[in-house]
Amino acid sequence: MYLKSAMANVKTEDEIILFEKEMNEFWTKIKSIYGTEQINQTLALRDSCKESIKTLSEKWSKKLKEGDLMIDKIQEYSNEILQQSKRISENQEHLTEIKSNLNQEQEQKKDLTDSIQELKEELMKKKEIISSKNKATKERVERLCKSKVLFEERLGLEIRRIHNEQLQFIFRHIDHKDPDKPYVFTLSINEQGDYEVTSCTPPLDCIAEFQLKVRETNNFSAFVANIRKAFTALTYK
For the segment 149-200, what is each residue's pLDDT rounded down to a tens digit?
A: 666 666 678 889 988 889 999 999 999 899 999 999 999 999 888 999 999 9
| Residue 198 counted as domain residue | yes
CATH code for the domain in which residue 226 is found? 3.30.457.50
One-letter identity of residue 101: N
Q: Could you give phi then psi for residue 69, rounded to 5 degrees?
A: -60, -40
| Residue 114 counted as domain residue | no
Range of the domain at 186: 156-236
| Residue 177 counted as domain residue | yes
Residue 26's pLDDT is what? 75
| Residue 168 counted as domain residue | yes
Judge if pTM exceeds 0.75. Answer: no
| Residue 77 counted as domain residue | no
| Residue 182 counted as domain residue | yes
Residue 62's pLDDT is what? 81
Say how many domains are in the chain: 1
Residue ranges of the chain with per-residue pLDDT less than 50: none
Which contacts qualify for 196-202: CB closer than 8 Å, 24 or more apart? Answer: 198/166, 202/231, 202/234
- Closest alpha carbon to 184 in 204, 154, 211, 205: 204
